[in-house]
Amino acid sequence: AQSVTQPDIHITVSEGASLELRCNYSYGATPYLFWYVQSPGQGLQLLLKYFSGDTLVQGIKGFEAEFKRSQSSFNLRKPSVHWSDAAEYFCAVVIGTGGGNKLTFGTGTQLKVEL
């Protein structure tokens, strides 16, 4: 079955430290890949996306992600975390250009930032 896995349910980092959130998918074809952030009680905000081309993509708020086909991964990174980055992060996948572009979400990673 097709799936998106975020192995880390919770991550705690110190402010100023680097961050990497893991995301793996299990699909035969190369999917469209997304990272979203959700603050408590809020909707989702798109951080970045990968459709094709350069496998290292830059997003908003200083985030970047790298698509690695050989590892079926799309990990999110930030060199220096700010306290305001504390939130829930979701990796998501869309397969193909048809099918209504349905997003499949990972289970999310809760990020806590220690001051």
Partner 1 sequence: GAVVSQHPSWVICKSGTSVKIECRSLDFQATTMFWYRQFPKQSLMLMATSNEGSKATYEQGVEKDKFLINHASLTLSTLTVTSAHPEDSSFYICSARATGVTGELFFGEGSRLTVL
Chain residues that interact with partner 1, rule: CB under 8 A: 32, 34, 36, 41-46, 49, 51, 90, 94, 97, 100-108, 110
Q: How many CB atoms lie within 10 A of CB 84?
A: 10
In the complex, least distance from residue 53 CB atom to partner 1, rounded to whole angstroms: 13
CA distance 13 to 15: 6
- Measuring CA to CA, how many Å separate 9 from each of 20, 95, 96, 98? 13, 24, 28, 31
Pick 26 or 45: Cβ nearer partner 1: 45
In the complex, least distance from residue 29 CB atom to partner 1, rounded to whole angstroms: 14
Pick 75 or 109: Cβ nearer partner 1: 109
In the complex, least distance from residue 112 CB atom to partner 1, rounded to whole angstroms: 13
Pick 15 or 104: Cβ nearer partner 1: 104
Beta bridge partners of 21: 76
In the complex, least distance from residue 46 CB atom to partner 1, rounded to whole angstroms: 7
Pick 51 or 83: Cβ nearer partner 1: 51
* Closest C-alpha among 74, 68, 105, 110 to residue 89: 110
Q: How many CB atoms lie within 10 A of CB 85?
A: 19
